[in-house]
Amino acid sequence: MSGAIVLLSGGLDSSTTLGIADQEYEDLYALTFQYGQRHDKEIECARKLAEHYSVEEHKVLDIPLLEIGRSSLLKKGEKIPEHGDDEIGEDIPSTYVPARNIILLSYGLCYGESVDAEAIFIGANARDYSGYPDCRPAFYETFEKMSEVGTKSGVEGSPLEIRYPLIDMKKSEIVEKAHSIGVPLKLTWSCYKGGEKACGECDSCKLRLKGFEEAGLEDPIEYE
Amino acid sequence: MSGAIVLLSGGLDSSTTLGIADQEYEDLYALTFQYGQRHDKEIECARKLAEHYSVEEHKVLDIPLLEIGRSSLLKKGEKIPEHGDDEIGEDIPSTYVPARNIILLSYGLCYGESVDAEAIFIGANARDYSGYPDCRPAFYETFEKMSEVGTKSGVEGSPLEIRYPLIDMKKSEIVEKAHSIGVPLKLTWSCYKGGEKACGECDSCKLRLKGFEEAGLEDPIEYE
């Protein structure tokens, strides 16, 4: 029996990543983070996805990122996009949240060592969003090297592998992949707003809809 | 004006580290973590120390380590020693908490980038406690390398420096150093129990008392 941790926000990318991990690993452990601004809707989607994939355990952690992380993004009442969700550019976007993916992966390491997992999956994507330093393969490689030296499993020769299977995919390719492996896309949530239906207008909705359109597939969620 | 983050538990080592950072940096930012089992007494000491050094800001963060970190140590009602506080040996001690220092330093990175600090100080000690993977210089070096690639400040050429000034010191040398630079040792707390006075009997008290004895100094805190 082999196990993997999957960082699961409930969005399209992390849900597809969960589906990919499910093909390779027997025991899945889903890890969802709340930092004050994530909508209940998204957490609820994460819970349903975890249930769909019959994960061994799904942990939803409240982490105090807002208390110390200052960014143009961290204003009260605004949802924090995932890195890579929203902006496309060469510079580091203003929506960069200091060390966010480093913190999330660190919890992944803690959880992974605790349940004797072999890998941590993250749905990061660098293709269109090279501006985020923590969404690039080079970062994940150095994070893995760090954990080889700084964790028990690493020192003992069985470091947790950091897996980022979507890193080079376009949104349409992610949609295609999700579709091909049966990810229940109707359970995923991308909209920045927390309404009953997705707004279809925010950057995240637009990116998602464009991905479905380019993939020639219909988005199964409801829009206003 | 240059700034530094100091990870401050309120114990002897982190307090001495705060004193060292104070000699080099104008603006200090103290970061204290609670994970359910730290005594109020220790937090109170951290607050007084932060006040003594007139830090710009002192953040006390609740982090959900107990919810995912499994270790022989993480049992309800037991205080979690700092890595290096308690056990001496060549193997990885049973008190190892998965990825703890990685998580703590990651918050340090987040906070450091948010306040434009130049360094993060941690009171880790490897001399007598080589068994903890995350208390060794090799770990801190790879963590720094990871942050050079995975953070905005790193990518832009001004990575946060990871400082671990006590790493090679014996406890008596730490006591001597603290004394020589005027760290208010009466405000520090090492006892695993949360009493009004230190117990003098637990491993942490014993190690502290031995340090003072070898340094030829009197411990200014009260013991039962």
CATH code at position B14: 3.40.50.620
Q: Which residue type is seen at B72?
A: S
Quick one: tokens of B73? 């140590």
Q: Mean per-residue pLDDT for A195-202?
A: 91
Name every chain A residue with its beta carbon within 8 A of the beta carbon of B59: 67-68
What count of CB pairs under 8 Å joins A to B? Answer: 156
Name every chain A residue with its beta carbon within 8 A of the beta carbon of B61: 64, 67-68
Whose tokens are 């104008």? That residue is B26
Name every chain B residue with its beta carbon within 8 A of the beta carbon of A109: 98-99, 102-103
Q: Do A146 and B149 touch (CB under 8 A)?
A: no
Domain total for chain A?
Answer: 1
Q: Are B162 and B140 in contact (CB under 8 A)?
A: yes
Over chain A, what is the mean pLDDT?
A: 89
Is residue B52 in some structural domain? yes
Burial (CB < 10 A; 0-12, 13-18, 19+), residue B75, is exposed
How close, in Å, is residue B114 to chain A by CA atoms? 5
pLDDT of the residue at B96? 83
Rounded to two decimals, the pTM is: 0.92
Report, as ranges of residue numbers, the positions in chain B whose pLDDT lies below 70: 1, 36-38, 71-91, 128-130
pLDDT of the residue at A89? 46
Is residue A65 in some structural domain? yes
Is residue B94 in some structural domain? yes
Is residue A223 in some structural domain? no
Q: Do A114 and B98 touch (CB under 8 A)?
A: yes
Phi, psi of B3 (to 5 degrees): -125, 155
CA-nearest residue to B105 within chain A is A103
Tell me chain B's radius of gyration from C-alpha atoms. Answer: 16
Whose tokens are 């070096």? That residue is B141
Is residue B28 in some structural domain? yes
pLDDT of the residue at B63? 95
Is residue B182 in some structural domain? no
pLDDT of the residue at B128? 58
The domain in which residue A204 lies consists of 3-215
Q: Are A38 and A7 in contact (CB under 8 A)?
A: no
CB nearest A99 (choices: B92, B96, B113): B113
Quick one: tokens of A93? 């976007």
Phi, psi of A31 (to 5 degrees): -130, 115
Is residue B187 in some structural domain? no
Is residue B202 in some structural domain? no
Predicted confidence (pLDDT) per residue in B24-57, tens digit: 999 999 999 998 666 788 899 999 999 999 999 9
